[in-house]
């Protein structure tokens, strides 16, 4: 009998990949989001029951991040409803080094459900599917925290780990920390991308306030601006959060993807050859 898997945030960076991995393994997958049927909205707990119905296991991604206000209440309600609906297990995506996210992790741990926590470092895909894509395309990447050494992790690795621990109960009750195999500064990451693309991309160190002002000028919502300010200052600003983990190798039996390999893979998609979007 096939298990029925719920993927909350199933169209996002990791959710889409987790859904694909589970489907390829022959599992039934229900993707949940605001535009799915049934629809799911983190801000509306009345939508939780319909997506949980008849599901066995769930992958939980809170949007935009577990650090934002309201996340604890939402995670608490969801896990209570998941337990009542008879789910066997949940896997929560959390952020490496986020104290606020750890409070949500504890809620999951105390929920009565079988669970695994997957803590992730900053995604490689921020440069190709997220906040830094326009910078790369424009040829000028202006970011704060030039001294931070970040073990960027690939979303494909995160998704493969999540799919494994979702079905493998030997990881129940554990926290798996996923990072890349080495630490890099933003300058080193940008230089790696530039070398592969074959064009000049300038890295410009700026203050956190300058970065937040730029986001506001681009019309991004205040919650998004606050979140990135928090992630830069509180997460990247703490050297303890910049350590490399080898949990990807422990779970998957292979090394995590190196940033250079991510760049080579992404280059084939042509995503960095676009024109800069007009705002």
Identify the three-state secondary structure at position 120. Answer: strand
Bin 9: left if φ > 0, else alpha if -120 < ψ < 50, else beta: left
| CB neighbours of residue 191 within 10 Å | 15
Cα distance between residue 47 and residue 31, in whole Å: 13
Q: Where are the domains of the chain?
A: 4-122+153-179+243-257
Strands 114-120 and 4-8 come out as unpaired
Cα distance between residue 192 and residue 169, in whole Å: 38
Cβ atoms 131, 228 nearer than 8 A: yes
Classify residue 42 by burial, with Cβ atoms within 10 Å: 0-12, 13-18, 19+: buried
pLDDT, tens digit, 9 for 90 and up, residues 120-172: 999 999 999 988 999 999 999 999 999 999 999 999 999 999 999 999 999 99
Out of 1.10.510.10, 3.20.20.370, 3.20.20.70, 3.40.50.720, which CATH number does the structure's domain 4-122+153-179+243-257 have? 3.40.50.720
pLDDT, tens digit, 9 for 90 and up, residues 24-63: 999 999 999 999 999 999 999 999 999 999 999 999 999 9
User: Which residues, in sequence order, are bridge partners of residue 7?
Assistant: 31, 59
* Predicted confidence band of residue 1 (pLDDT cuts 50, 70, 90): very low
C-alpha distances (whole Å) from 170 to each of 19, 27, 166 are 21, 19, 10
pLDDT, tens digit, 9 for 90 and up, residues 226-245: 988 989 988 888 777 789 99
């Amino acid at each position: 009998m096939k298990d029925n898997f719920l993927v909350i945030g199933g169209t996002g960076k990791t959710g889409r990949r987790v859904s694909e991995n589970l489907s390829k393994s022959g599992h039934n997958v229900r993707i949940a989001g605001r535009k799915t049927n049934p629809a799911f909205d983190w801000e509306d707990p009345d939508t939780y029951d319909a997506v949980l119905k008849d599901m066995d296991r769930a992958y939980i991604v809170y949007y935009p991040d577990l650090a934002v206000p309201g996340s604890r209440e939402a995670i608490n309600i969801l896990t209570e409803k998941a337990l009542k609906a008879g789910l066997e297990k949940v896997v929560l995506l959390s952020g490496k080094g986020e104290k606020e996210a750890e409070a949500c992790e504890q809620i999951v741990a105390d929920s009565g459900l079988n669970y695994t926590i997957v803590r992730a470092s900053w995604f490689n895909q921020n440069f190709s599917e997220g906040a830094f894509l326009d910078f790369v395309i424009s040829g000028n990447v202006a970011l704060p925290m030039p001294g931070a050494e970040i073990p960027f992790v690939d979303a494909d690795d995160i998704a493969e780990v999540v799919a494994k621990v979702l079905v493998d109960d030997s990881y129940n009750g554990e926290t798996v920390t996923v990072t890349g195999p080495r630490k890099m500064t933003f300058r080193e990451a940008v230089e790696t991308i530039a070398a592969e693309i074959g064009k000049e991309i300038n890295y410009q160190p700026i203050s956190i306030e300058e970065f937040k002002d730029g986001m506001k000028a681009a019309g991004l919502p205040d919650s998004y601006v606050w979140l990135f300010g928090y992630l830069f200052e509180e997460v990247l600003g703490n050297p303890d959060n910049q350590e490399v983990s080898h949990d990807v190798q422990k779970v998957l039996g292979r090394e995590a993807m190196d940033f250079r390999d991510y760049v080579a893979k992404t280059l084939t998609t042509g995503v960095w050859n676009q024109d800069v979007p007009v705002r």
